[in-house]
Amino acid sequence: MQNITDIIEAYLKQILNDETKVEIKRQEIAQRFDCVPSQINYVINTRFTVEKGYFVESKRGGGGYIRIQKIVLLDSHDLLDEMSAWVGDQLTEQAAEDYLIRLMNEQLLTRREAILIQSLLRKESLPMDVEDQHRMRAHLMQTLLQTIKRL
Amino acid sequence: MQNITDIIEAYLKQILNDETKVEIKRQEIAQRFDCVPSQINYVINTRFTVEKGYFVESKRGGGGYIRIQKIVLLDSHDLLDEMSAWVGDQLTEQAAEDYLIRLMNEQLLTRREAILIQSLLRKESLPMDVEDQHRMRAHLMQTLLQTIKRL
DNA sequence: ACCTCTCTGACCATCTTTGACTATTGTTTG
DNA sequence: CAAACAATAGTCAAAGATGGTCAGAGAGGT
């Protein structure tokens, strides 16, 4: 673990332990680790490949970046069951949104899917008194979680 | 997201989340974001193209403006309104499924999206008496149709 | 020595920002 | 009313800001 490549790899992976993705500026990282910018490309091409479970995007020009995301192909049943337990039989609009975001982060829902579902869980979409709303929302969320398991 | 273009894009799109259109004065926006006026043209030419679903009009001279509108494809727009009228305020499970299939065929929903939504509209997902179920299902479908329009 | 993995730098590709010049529309003046 | 003037927006090419590629040099292990 002496060469720069390994050090930069470790640095990025350490961030990916907490965050679902890491976004860097090539030049900035190169400077921080005192190497040429193209070294960063080498790190990415050898350590963050699709085969190794990473998805990399980048943009050139002003405001350019390199973004690395860990692809999670986890057996997600456990997570879905956990969420199911958390949801219980009552759910606020805000909590619902948080769960949807979590599902998106875990790549179990696309952004579009999350938006569609969220619109159905808004209070305006559930014409009933608040108590029932919370129950209804929870019920729909439970259905969703079970459905995702089967997709 | 630190270049001016992205910041101005976000600003305008945020307005478009609430309003169906946004009308600006080029000079004014340029000043607010401290950039040259032609920067605004760049933003519009790269971020608010027809391919991306926006319609832009402008006028020069005194009282000039730049107006940006989100495009809803006429065909789809009409179809969604028609369906909205057909749905009314009551909807059976079978009818709901038919509508979802239609939306899929019109490529307004993906297969996965349709399956997710359908599961939420099943009677098992709507714990209430049949009368209310039909009303609830219709209400959710109406929400869905409106949401698709804005997507 | 030989092979493989790393590192470097020159050169390339793409996206953004800027500003001089142009085009159009509205307003005032003779 | 026509001409001049004012107030806007549009175009385009050059400069700036990033990231990408690739071939060759360097380093470490067998």
Indicate yes or no: CB of A116 within 8 angstroms of CB of B2: no
Cα B93 versus chain centre, distance = 26
DSSP string, B47-68: HS-TTTTEEEEEE-STT-EEEE
Best mutation target, B2, B119, B134, B136, to test chain A (most A CBs within 10 A): B119
- Does A113 sit within 8 Å of B116, measured CB to CB? yes
Closest nucleotide (C1' vs CA) to A3 is: C6
Q: What gap in Å lies between CA A26 and CA A45, rounded to an integer?
A: 13
CA distances from B55 to A120, B43, B70 (A): 28, 14, 6
* Maximum alpha-carbon separation in chain B: 62
CA of A100 to C1' of C1 (A): 60
Give me the residue label for tokens 């020009």. Answer: A61
Lowest-confidence region among B53-67, B71-85, B106-120 = B71-85
Distance from CA of A116 to the nearest CA of B (A): 7
Non-local CB neighbours of A144 within 8 Å, separated by 6+ positions:
A117, B116, B119, B120
pLDDT tens track for B41-72: 999 999 998 878 899 999 999 899 999 998 86
DSSP class of residue A51 equals T
Contact positions of strand C to protein Cβ (< 7 A): 5-10, 13-20, 23-27
Asked whether residue B39's C-beta has any atom of DNA/RNA strand D within 7 A, the reply is no
Among B42, B53, B61, smallest CA distance to B20 is for: B53
Question: What contacts B83, CB < 8 A, 6 or more positions away?
Answer: B99, B102, B103, B145
Calpha distance A34→A42 (Å, rounded): 15
pLDDT, residue A74, reads 60
Sheet with A65-70: strands ordered across: A21-24, A65-70, A54-59
| Domains within chain B, CATH numbers bracketed | 4-70 (3.30.56.130), 74-150 (1.10.1200)
For residue B109, the 8-state DSSP code is S
Give yes or no for residue B73 having a pLDDT over 80.
no
The reply to whether residue A143 touches residue B127, judged by beta carbons under 8 angstroms, is: no
Distance B62 CA to C23 C1' (A): 14
Would you say B115 and B96 are in contact if contact means Cβ atoms under 8 Å apart?
no
Task: Identify residue B34 by its one-letter amino acid code.
Answer: D
How far apart are the C-alpha atoms of A32 and A13, rounded to whole Å? Answer: 16
- Predicted pLDDT at A78: 86
- Give pLDDT tens digits along chain A (151 positions): 679 999 999 999 999 999 889 999 999 999 999 999 999 999 999 999 988 889 999 999 999 999 999 886 666 788 899 999 999 999 999 999 999 999 998 889 999 999 999 999 999 999 999 999 999 999 999 999 999 988 7
